[in-house]
Amino acid sequence: MPDSFEHTPSLTIRMPNGALTSLAGNIDAHHRVAIADLILVQRRVRETLERLVRDFRPDVVGLSIMTFQRHTALKIVHLLRSLSPGVRVVAGGYDPSLDTEPYEDPASGVDFIVRGEGELTFRELLRALESNAPVAAVAGVSYRNGHRFVHNPDRSVMRLPVERLALPNRGARVLGGYTFLGRAIDIVETSRGCTYDCSFCSIIEMRGRNFHPFPIERVMADIADARSRGAQTIFIVDDNITLDVRRFEELCRAITGAGLSTVDYIVQAMTSSIANHGETLAPLMKKAGFRYVFLGIENILEEDLGFLKAAAKNARRQQGVRTGNATVEAINILHRHGMFVVGGLIVGNPDDTRESIEANLAFARRYVDWPYIQHPTPYPRTPMTRDFRDQDLIVNHDYREYDGTTAVVRTKHLGADEIEFMRWRAERWMKLRHLPPVLAYSPRFVMRNGVRMLAHTFRGSSLKTFLGLESEREAFRRYKEIRRIEREYLDEPESGTGYQVPRTGCAVQGA
């Protein structure tokens, strides 16, 4: 999908989608496969798709979709159908897996949904299609049968240490230009799954509570492959790599031992693991080349952590006894070892007041290097979605805006717009503060793009705003309008193709 959100502007961050290369690496070798990450051509989606359909004449097109990308995805299906009426369309990823209904609509143009982990299901689906065999036996697939969709039984998640998956096929990419602050970036997985159950996270409904690591040799081969294709930075996309700290330490040693610490690594981590094991883990991470650590802080207030069911993963323990919150300790350890902290916080929970949101913003201002502050977003089938619905706090049912930085829920005390305004106003200045280290890291990139980077961070504001001649709310209003326009990646398809893009309201609410 081309859709990106506030914290990962395509100017500075264009990362590959890990699902697509993994799927491509695991289908039968005789297929010709092309991966097109549309994030690379955000403003040229239509012409790129027209060209690719002309060049490759695909029999099957698969799309990898998050909820906020649903609208664009359905438009893309519409376009594909107009370019190649007989093409078979497969939808996969978090959104179709957790909310099949919009894709079942005959107007959607989708033929198959692959639910959950996709490699084996997609491979078997393709085998069935090419041999004209029934797909009824393929676990994990939902398919159109006349006017209704049939949902085959779920497929159980792969036990990765024993059930081998082939390496991702990066060679199948037909578009280029993945970069992070001007440096070539790739992604690598070292494990899948998580045993926690944070109420806002889609992972549990997607694959249950489990943790399956890839063998370290396989991870090293994957990193080496990414490196050999030019990656200077690697984002490790594991759901929760810090569940097994000893294994993470072993991985760091393997990276250093293999001479692959010349790559800069970015990883997501739990505060508790870093605080409780950081003294041994952090030096190894630093030596291996880890540079940015995304910490799932979520919230600094215990009541909010309780609501988000994220207290356990943020707990500090000493001699096995819980002694408080792990966040500050985790940040200090990472800083002591020369790593930057990307602070993941969630503000706007049901009981949040102006003061509780301000407390979190002040914390971010003081402690984190790069803020990654979001609003609770009721994605399909998460426990949090039920909580917000039960309390009647969801105010926006347009999934296009479910991108994490648009407030779509209110609290009992504050309106959604006010919550978003508070985050927006504070976060821009925090981001500005990180510019000097970025300049030192990527001087040529910043010299070339610094003005555009600032313009992006402060879009909506004008000289009048900075001089205090207009209210910041006016700038915020303009920012929201810019965001609204940015969300359209594909102009309206021509009529007469027989397909209509269905409305993408909140199915849960029946809107």
Torsion of CA 27, 189, 368, 373, to 10 degrees: 30
Q: Does 90 bind ligand B12 (CB under 6 A)?
A: yes
Binding-residue pattern over the window 52 to 81 for ligand B12, x denoting contact by CB under 6 A:
----------xxx-xxx-------------
Q: Does 19 bind ligand B12 (CB under 6 A)?
A: yes
Q: Does 119 bind ligand B12 (CB under 6 A)?
A: yes
Q: Does 194 bind ligand SF4 (CB under 6 A)?
A: yes
Q: Does 15 bind ligand B12 (CB under 6 A)?
A: yes
Residue with tokens 């988000």: 308
Judged by CB, which is closer to ligand B12: 234, or 281? 234
Binding-residue pattern over the window 299 to 338 for ligand SF4, x denoting contact by CB under 6 A:
--------------x-------------------------
**Given candidates 17, 191, 240, 385, which one binds ligand SF4 under the rule CB under 6 A?**
240
CB of 239 to ligand SF4, least distance (A): 4
Size, binding site for ligand SF4 by CB under 6 A: 11
**DSSP bridge partners of 294:** 268, 342
Determine the Cα–Cα distance for residues 267 and 223; give it in Å rounded to an integer.
14
CB of 190 to ligand SF4, least distance (A): 14
Residue ranges of E strands in 178-263: 179-180, 183-188, 191-192, 212-213, 233-236
Q: Does 269 bind ligand SF4 (CB under 6 A)?
A: no
Binding-residue pattern over the window 230 to 249 for ligand B12, x denoting contact by CB under 6 A:
-----x-x-x----------
CB of 141 to ligand B12, least distance (A): 9
Judged by CB, which is closer to ligand B12: 23, or 79? 23
Burial classification of residue 277, based on how many CB atoms lie within 10 Å of its CB (0-12 exposed, 13-18 middle, 19 or more buried): middle
489 binds, among ligand B12, ligand SF4, none (CB under 5 to 8 A by kind): none
**Given candidates 62, 296, 350, 493, which one binds ligand SF4 under the rule CB under 6 A?**
296
Judged by CB, which is closer to ligand B12: 239, or 420? 239
User: How far apart are the two ends of the chain, measured CA to CA in Å?
Assistant: 24
93 binds, among ligand SF4, ligand B12, none (CB under 5 to 8 A by kind): ligand B12
Determine the Cα–Cα distance for residues 403 and 80; give it in Å rounded to an integer.
25
Pairing mode of beta strands 290-298, 264-269: parallel
Judged by CB, which is closer to ligand SF4: 197, or 470? 197
Q: Shortest CA distance to 500 belongs to which of 194, 78, 141, 103?
A: 78
**Given candidates 45, 72, 76, 95, which one binds ligand B12 under the rule CB under 6 A?**
95
CB neighbour list of residue 104: distance below 8 Å, 6 or more residues apart: 110, 113, 142, 144, 148, 149
Judged by CB, which is closer to ligand B12: 198, or 329? 198
237 binds, among ligand B12, ligand SF4, none (CB under 5 to 8 A by kind): ligand B12
Judged by CB, which is closer to ligand SF4: 38, or 300? 300
What six digits make up the tokens of 338?
A: 């020369």
**DSSP bridge partners of 112:** 90, 143
DSSP characters over 343-355 = EEEE---TT--HH
Judged by CB, which is closer to ligand SF4: 205, or 470? 205
Q: Does 140 bind ligand B12 (CB under 6 A)?
A: no
Distances (CA, A) of 338 to 71, 129, 285, 293: 41, 52, 10, 11
**Given candidates 201, 231, 419, 453, which one binds ligand SF4 under the rule CB under 6 A?**
201
Q: Does 117 bind ligand B12 (CB under 6 A)?
A: yes
Determine the Cα–Cα distance for residues 277 and 129; give it in Å rounded to an integer.
49
* The Cα angle at residue 5 between residues 302 and 296, in degrees rounded to 5: 25
Is-contact 191 18, C-beta < 8 A?
A: no
Q: Shortest CA distance to 346 belongs to which of 374, 321, 318?
A: 374
Judged by CB, which is closer to ligand SF4: 201, or 251? 201
The radius of gyration computed from the CA coordinates of the chain, to the nearest angstrom, equals: 23
Is-contact 311 305, C-beta < 8 A?
A: yes
Determine the Cα–Cα distance for residues 384 and 393; give it in Å rounded to an integer.
11
Q: Which of the stretches 113-121, 208-216, 243-251, 272-280 binds ligand B12 when contact is defined by CB under 6 A?
A: 113-121
Residues that bind ligand B12 (CB under 6 A): 4-5, 8, 15-19, 22-23, 62-64, 66-68, 90, 92-95, 98, 114, 117-119, 122, 187, 189, 201-203, 235, 237, 239, 379-380, 403-404
